[in-house]
Amino acid sequence: MKNKIKVLFVVPYPLNTAPCQRFRFEQYFDLLKCKGITYAVDPFVSPGLHRIIYKKGKYIAKFLYTFCCFLRRFYTVIRAFRYDIVFIHRETSPFGFIFFELFLKHAGKKIIFDFDDAVYLPNFSGANNIARLFKNYNKIKKIISISDVVIAGNSHLERYAVNFNKNVIVIPTTIDTDKYPLIEKERRKNAPVCIGWSGSYTTIQHFILLENVFKRLRDKFNVTIKTIGAPSDFSMKYIPIVAKIWCLENEIEELSGFDIGVMPLPDDEWGRGKCGLKALQYMALGIPAVCSPVGVNREIIQDGVNGFLANSEEEWIEKLSKLIKDHSLRKEIGIAGRKTVEERYSLARNGPVFLDILNNIYQRSSGCKYVKK
């Protein structure tokens, strides 16, 4: 790109702390630098608030931190005048109005809105109930309607967004395969098979859906159950859990310890809005994934070819059992999964699309139309 584009990323969380940001746009930053694009990141949540946001209690501290973060957003809109494009991920603030978005729009800023979850639905973690006081999920459709371009994480979210803005393009959640090496797992005689799940405080409720499945599998096989990112006090009755705290520096190392990765989801509007990150992380490393056939998982996984889809408890038992018993099958499915990520969900595949959006919106004052390939 010949033009010196300047982009301000207005986002919820600090850098390198949230998967929704790391795999949606943060991993494109090296590409932006290579193309001479200047960028800055302006999160709503401060480091201090981030340290306590999902901890129980601490309501006064959360309120004070949140109020300070809100005041700082006024500086954000002033800062935005130095940039050509404002990239908003999810929202500028957790409050139920779009004052900042409207101000940027009326100031003539070109706006890209990106979302990778059904953020137009109420969804709260148990530790962050204070958010209920501020949220207004109807505002998402208003933000979509005033944006020049909307980037949706999957086709389900795209179908929602086109009701309010016809200029929508899908960029799936993307994996930098250079940082996710294909793992060659050796057969380990008499060693337990590790079934793993990676997530967070807000998604542990989905993992619990498999509690009875794990109990039945442990009665039949030598398996261990491992979680990454679950709450420190998380446990399952009668099922020992190897619980690891999520840490960016050793995330890939911990994931590499999985022999099989699981991604259970409820078949509801929230589940259908998910973008399959867990499955893609497993697959990129050559770890066979078993997922609920919900939303984008149906697009990512071809059942029995590059992963498995399991709907009922009996299907989970059947398909996990196949993989537990057959090391060769795990390897075969893992290699096919890696190929899928390389061809459709890699940084090399989707990075140029992201750059093309920036270039087009910079050059066309009225937005741009995209021909979907």
The model's pLDDT over 229-256, given as tens digits with 9 standing for 90+, comes to 988 788 888 899 999 999 999 999 999 9
Are 215 and 316 in contact by the 8 Å Cβ rule? The answer is: no
Q: Which residues of 275-313 are buried (b: 16+ CB within 10 A; e: fewer)?
A: bbbbbbbbbbbbbbbbbbebbbbeebbeeeebbbbbeee
Q: Does residue 326 share a domain with residue 203?
A: yes
On whether both 150 and 235 belong to a single domain, the answer is no
325 and 353 part of one domain: no
Residues 165 and 16 in one domain: yes
> What CATH number is attached to the domain comprising 199?
3.40.50.2000
Percent of the chain with pLDDT strictly greater than 70 = 93
The rounded mean pLDDT for the chain is 91
Let me know if residue 74 belongs to a domain: yes
DSSP lists the bridge partners of residue 117 as none
84 domain residue, yes or no: yes
pLDDT top residue among 333 and 231: 333
User: Mean pLDDT over residues 272-298, rounded?
Assistant: 97
Domain assignment present for residue 181? The answer is: no
User: Does 368 reside within a domain?
Assistant: no
Domain co-membership, 55 together with 36:
yes
CB 269 within 8 A of CB 118: yes
Q: Is residue 266 part of a domain?
A: yes
**Poorest-confidence range of 110-124, 157-171, 293-307, 316-330?**
110-124
Domain-located, residue 248: yes
Task: Assess whether 237 and 270 both reside in one domain.
Answer: yes
Number of domains composing the chain: 2
In terms of domains, do 160 and 260 share one?
A: no
| pLDDT of amino acid 202 | 83
261 and 234, same structural domain? Answer: yes
- Indicate if 98 and 145 belong to the same structural domain: yes
Co-location of 232 and 308 in the same domain: yes
**Per-residue model confidence as pLDDT tens digits over 80-100:** 999 999 999 999 998 888 999
* Minimum mean pLDDT range among 54-58, 85-89, 227-231, 348-352: 54-58
Instruction: Say how many Å lie between the first and final Cα of the chain, rounded.
Output: 22
Which range of residues forms the domain containing residue 145? Answer: 6-174+347-363
Q: In this structure, are 129 and 199 located in the same domain? A: no
Q: Are residues 148 and 20 in the same domain?
A: yes
pLDDT, mean of residues 175-189: 87
pTM for this model (two decimals)? 0.90
